[in-house]
Structure 1
Amino acid sequence: MTAYTYYTASTIDGFLADPNDSLDWLLSQPIDDDGPFSIAELMAGTGTIAMGATTYEWLVEHTAGEPWSYPEQQTFVFTHRDLAPVHPTVTRLAGPPAEHRARLEDAAGDRGVWVVGGGGLAAQFAAAGMLDEMIVSYAPVTLGSGRSLFTEPFDFELLDTARNRAFAIARYRVVGARKAAPSQR
């Protein structure tokens, strides 16, 4: 069975990016590339990448003139916008994740799917029963507003924690959609 992992970084107040989609807060933090929960460790087990359009556009804009960051994995960009692929391994998909499950898993082969962003896309995967774990690297920064880490009410179970220089990292199992509390009279 293919494992789906939402691997991301967040401010301690729960934002992936500021209101202008800037990641300056993230890029200024020290991290050990070979430390716990490293990107290299994640990529070794990743066969397919599922990405939101805003994340894709940010990546393309901020790496212009450089080779595509993920040439070894098939990248599926979930969007209704007409975005041009910057590499032969990039494909645009429209519609909810469940409609594309077989395609994602076929592309992953015997490895997993990395759900890379953003919080709305990760919540869609979770709602479809297509998210097993969430790994969050929390930076010692607050933004006050911006793009949310996760956009729907869900319960998670803490499985593991580590420190990687400035980051507190937590690995969670996705339990399920959060049930509304009974109303009190």
Structure 2
Amino acid sequence: MTRTLYYTATSLDGFIATSEHSLDWLVSRDNDPAGPMGYDVFFAQIGALVMGASTYAWVTEQLDGDWPYDQPTWVLTHRDFPTPADGVDVRFRSGNVAELHPEMVAAAASKDLWVVGGGDLAGQFAERGLLDAVQVSVAPVTLGAGAPLLPRQVELRLTGVARNRDFACLSYDVVR
């Protein structure tokens, strides 16, 4: 069964990016992608992705236009963006996530759907009862301001705690 997961990292004070949309504070930290709650283990279970415009812009800028994902990806935006390359399955959409969710789940082909970012987008899925779990790695830094982790009230139940080098890793199920 496909689950909709918000997998991300946050500063200790609850921000996923600086006010300038920078993740420099994150990429400079030590972690093991194959370690506890690491990216490699997580990503192996992903069949489709969804992200907001700021996340898409950051990914394409950081990777000089090279697209890192083979899975179908939805970008929820009102902005105009170029598609990264021929043969890449990126779908630009706007509107209610509840209306798009069945299409995303079908494309995930029994694997999970990853809400890549941002926090407001994850909150939209949560508000509509579509978010199943939150997995967050907490970095040892405070930012003071920026893009919040999850700017909605969402009830969660802790299901896992681990340490991955510099990160405290927390796994939650969404309580409905």
User: What TM-score does the superposition give when structure 2 sets the normalisation length?
Assistant: 0.96
CA distance in 2, matches of 1:157, 1:22: 30
Aligned residues: 174
- 1:34 counterpart SS class: coil
> Residue by residue, what CA displacement relative to the aligned partner does 1:115-173 show, whole Å, maximum 9, x if unpaired?
01000000001111111000000000000100000011111111101000000000001
1:73 corresponds to which of 71, 74, 78: 71
- 1:84 counterpart SS class: coil
Q: Is contact 2:8-2:116 (8 Å) kept?
A: yes
Moved over 2 A (4+): none
- 1:157 counterpart SS class: strand
CA distance in 1, matches of 2:2, 2:128: 14
> Residue by residue, what CA displacement relative to the aligned partner does 1:38-74 show, whole Å, maximum 9, x if unpaired?
1111111110001111000001011105x3111x210
User: Percent identity at matched positions?
Assistant: 45
Q: Does 1:40 align with 2:48?
A: no
**2:74 maps to amino acid:** F
**2:77 maps to amino acid:** T
Q: Is contact 2:139-2:167 (8 Å) kept?
A: yes
User: Could you list the runs of 5+ residues in structure 1 that have no partner in the other structure?
Assistant: 177-185
- Over the aligned positions, Cα root-mean-square deviation in angstroms equals 1.0
> Which residue of structure 1 aligns with residue 143 of structure 2?
143
CA distance in 1, matches of 2:89, 2:41: 21
Shift of 1:101: 1.5
- 1:82 counterpart SS class: coil
- 2:124 counterpart SS class: helix
> Which residue of structure 2 aligns with residue 171 of structure 1?
171
User: Could you list the runs of 5+ residues in structure 2 that have no partner in the other structure?
Assistant: none
For the pair shown, the structure with the greater C-alpha radius of gyration is: 1
Aligned positions of 1:78-117 closer than 5 A: 78-87=76-85, 88-117=88-117
CA distance in 2, matches of 1:45, 1:28: 26
CA distance in 1, matches of 2:2, 2:130: 9
Aligned positions of 1:54-69 closer than 5 A: 54-64=54-64, 67-69=66-68
Shift of 1:81: 1.2
